[in-house]
Amino acid sequence: MSDDSGYAKNDVTLMDIWLVIRSYRRFTFISIILITALGFIIAFSLPNQYQFTTAIEIGNQVVNDEIIPIEASETVVDKLRTGYIPVVVSQFVPKNPSGPDEYILEVIGSDNSQIVQVLSEAPLNEEALITDLHTQIVNELITDHNRTIDSMRANAKILLAEANQKLGEVVAEEQALKMQLKSIDETLQLLDNYTNELNDRILSAEMEITKLQRSDSDATKILMLTTQIGEWQSNLVDIENQAKVNIYVVRAEAEKSVNNANQGKQTAQNEIEYRETVIKNIQDTRVLGKNAVVSLKPVSPDKLLIIFGSLIFSLMFAVFGSLILDFLKRSKSL
């Protein structure tokens, strides 16, 4: 059965709740004041927590214009969380009894970056302790990584030494071939000089024969000169058709070898430059900055949130408290 207002007799309306709260307005007011004041006290009594950040750049090397880290950032993050941090903290706490019993540290990294960050929250007066703790954690990681990086650098230096040795061998071969070419050119020059000398002899002998023939001299001497000219001409033929041909073949082979040596030298020089670049581009794992970076503003507690939360809680407590008090009062009257 309903009344004229449209509400059932047993329904509880907002007006009914408001009347209950109003009847216990003193309790409501005091509850709101006390709980909100307690929120203010808690918000401003909690020490300000600052964030301390230490950034680590993972060591890497550049290969074919691609940066290859010594370890993936997610692997480094996992090592820090499960290995370095627990071990270092367990040793750090007993040695620093003035600090907190527990240090809260977080590690973040990105797949697309070689930067890993170690984060912790603490009051500003613990900056020295946090910096020391971060430094020990980072040094453990750096020591571990740099052993691997030193090995990479040593291997690169071995390859560089091999490239330098190869260059030395090619240069020595090139110098020997150039000396051979110089000797061949000197030999050809000697043959040219000998050819000119033979031509001069032949010309002189022919002139002598012509002179003897005009004076009707001894035919034996003319025969001897003619025979000598034949020998000289035969020598000229041998020089032009055999000696020089063989030398030209040897010189062509030597020149080809010199060209190959030049190419080999250029290849060795390119290899040396590449190995030197590889060594230069091997980057150690290192900490960015000298100390942990402190946030400019506190990161916690959120005072406004605490105060606002206490205000909401005080309102809820006042409403439910008023309803409970009204319920107890009505129960006693039955």
Buried b (16+ CB within 10 A) or exposed e, 289-323: eeebbeeeebeebebeebbeebeebbbebbbebbb
Per-residue pLDDT tens digits for 53-88: 888 888 877 777 777 777 777 888 888 888 888 888
pLDDT band at 173 (very low <50, low <70, confident <90, very high): confident
Residue 227 Cα distances to 146, 211, 221, 234, angstroms:
87, 17, 10, 11
Record the tokens describing residue 46, joined without a space: 């909690």
Other beta carbons within 10 Å of 127: 15
CA-wise closest residue to 117 among 77, 65, 64, 172:
77
Q: What is the pLDDT of residue 296?
A: 79
Evaluate if residue 4 carries a pLDDT over 70: no
Residue 292 Cα distances to 89, 122, 126, 333, angstroms:
16, 12, 12, 67
Record the tokens describing residue 170, joined without a space: 């090619």
- Residue 160 and residue 85: Cα distance in Å, rounded? 38
Contact 167, 264 (CB under 8 A): no
Instruction: Give backbone dihedrals phi and psi of 120, rounded to 5 degrees, phi first.
Output: -155, 155
Which residues make Cβ contacts (< 8 Å) with residue 270, sequence separation at least 6?
A: none
Per-residue pLDDT tens digits for 242-287: 777 788 888 888 888 888 888 888 888 888 888 888 788 788 788 8
Mean pLDDT score, 30-54: 83
Mean pLDDT score, 218-238: 81
Per-residue pLDDT tens digits for 10-23: 566 777 777 777 77
pLDDT band at 217 (very low <50, low <70, confident <90, very high): low
Evaluate if residue 7 carries a pLDDT over 60: no
- Residue 109 and residue 56: Cα distance in Å, rounded? 10
Q: Is 193 exposed, middle or buried (0-12, 13-18, 19+ CB in 10 A)?
A: exposed
The mean predicted confidence, pLDDT, of the chain is 80
pLDDT band at 334 (very low <50, low <70, confident <90, very high): low
Percent of the chain beyond pLDDT 70? 93
Residue 240 Cα distances to 36, 192, 227, angstroms:
119, 10, 20
Evaluate if residue 2 carries a pLDDT over 50: no
Q: Which of 47-51, 107-111, 178-182, 218-222 has the highest mean pLDDT?
A: 178-182
Beta strand residue intervals within the chain, DSSP E: 50-57, 60-63, 66-69, 105-109, 115-122, 286-294
Which residues make Cβ contacts (< 8 Å) with residue 88, sequence separation at least 6?
A: 133, 136, 137, 140
Mean pLDDT score, 25-45: 83
- Residue 69 and residue 56: Cα distance in Å, rounded? 13
- Residue 260 and residue 254: Cα distance in Å, rounded? 10
Q: What is the pLDDT of residue 1?
A: 40
Q: Which residue has the tokens 């000169």?
A: 225
> Residue 301: is the preceding peptide bond cis (ω within 30°)?
yes
Mean pLDDT score, 320-327: 82
3-state DSSP percent of the chain in helix, strand and coil, to 5: 70, 15, 15
Q: What is the pLDDT of residue 12?
A: 64
Mean pLDDT score, 172-187: 84
The architecture CATH gives domain 156-280:
Orthogonal Bundle (1.10)
Contact 250, 184 (CB under 8 A): yes
- Residue 127 and residue 125: Cα distance in Å, rounded? 6
Evaluate if residue 3 carries a pLDDT over 70: no
Which residues make Cβ contacts (< 8 Å) with residue 66, sequence separation at least 6?
A: none
